[in-house]
Amino acid sequence: MRLFLLTGYIFCFISLGHSQINEPLDYKITYNLEFKALKNSEERQNENMFLFVSKNYSKFMSQGKFNLDSLMNAKKKLGFNRFMSSLPQTKFLFFVINELSTDKIWFQEKIATDKFLYEEVIKFNWTNHQATKSILGYNCRKAITHYQGRNYTAWYTSEIPINSGPYKFSGLPGLILEIYDDKKEYHFLIKGIESLPKGNTLTFNSKNFINVSKNTYKETLQKYIENPFKSFEQKGGSVGFNKRQKKAFIKEYRELSKNKNVIELKENDE
């Protein structure tokens, strides 16, 4: 166990054990995500999301996050100006890795400049229904579940024997092709599935991230929302704002954050 100083608080980091993945990728599955980004607006936005699948794992991320990672790898070759002008737009900068034979997932996202990773075991309580429909020519069955304050309807097919789906959803006897909450504030729908040529690999090493519990991740995120300058300044950084400007920025940032319609609601809302 080790200690890490962040935003003026000392957090105890949990020992999750070292996890490393390096295996060939078999498929890339593309979903369209239609989502309600803000609580005070009924406007829906759209993003493409990718699910990469290997023999034992899947990795879920936005197309924008995938493009950003590719761009970061090519940053030195592009030069600063071309790099900045090429930055993709996305509201989802996390990735989720699902171990297909278990209920274990890894969730990674940056807070400020720190790359946080937490491990979670999710046992979805799926209820199967007799309803069926066809999606992309695949016969699908209906199942429902509840997760983090939202009721979800999923359509899955046993014709594609992959125990995974968008975001953290898994545990059905086949690939989830469509899933949405009862208000359709988050609606994932498959657009296509393709086999990947040899040479594509899923790589992951938990040592590359700051391993914490989910609660510590959420607490750290909340502290960042309360004062997004604090951790940067404690590391010796400087921002070109005076006190009045900083106060106004922090107030606006808090209000924007409170208005964000996150996919996971509070656990006590369940």
Q: Is 34 exposed, middle or buried (0-12, 13-18, 19+ CB in 10 A)?
A: middle
CA–CA separation, 30 vs 63, rounded Å?
A: 9
pLDDT above 70 covers what percent of the chain? 82
**Which two tokens mark 110?**
């940056």
Q: How far is CA 190 from CA 47, 133, 134, 177, in A?
A: 12, 14, 12, 5
Place 14 in a pLDDT band, splitting at 50, 70 and 90: very low
Tell me if 192 sits within 8 A of 179, measured CB to CB. Answer: no
Closest CA relative to residue 135, chosen from 178, 186, 187: 178
* Per-residue pLDDT, 2: 28
Place 230 in a pLDDT band, splitting at 50, 70 and 90: confident
The whole-model pTM stands at 0.87
Listed in order, strand segments (DSSP E) in the chain are 3-6, 9-12, 20-36, 44-54, 57-62, 95-99, 104-111, 114-121, 127-135, 138-147, 150-157, 175-181, 186-195, 201-205, 210-212
CA–CA separation, 66 vs 49, rounded Å?
A: 9
pLDDT tops 50 at residue 178: yes
Within 13 A of 64's CA, how many CA atoms are on the CB side?
13
pLDDT tops 80 at residue 236: no
* Per-residue pLDDT, 240: 65
Identify the residue whose tokens are 């070292």. 18
Question: Collapsing DSSP states into helix, strand and coil, what is residue 37?
Answer: coil
pLDDT tops 90 at residue 213: yes
For residue 145, what are the contacts with CB-CB under 8 A and spacing of at least 6?
Answer: 124, 125, 126, 127, 151, 152, 154, 169
* Per-residue pLDDT, 13: 39
Closest CA relative to residue 173, chosen from 156, 189, 190: 156
Tell me if 185 sits within 8 A of 29, measured CB to CB. Answer: no
Phi, psi of 243 (to 5 degrees): -60, -40
pLDDT digits (tens, 9 = 90+) for 142-159: 999 999 999 999 999 999
* Per-residue pLDDT, 39: 95
pLDDT tops 70 at residue 77: no
pLDDT tops 60 at residue 81: no
Place 262 in a pLDDT band, splitting at 50, 70 and 90: very high
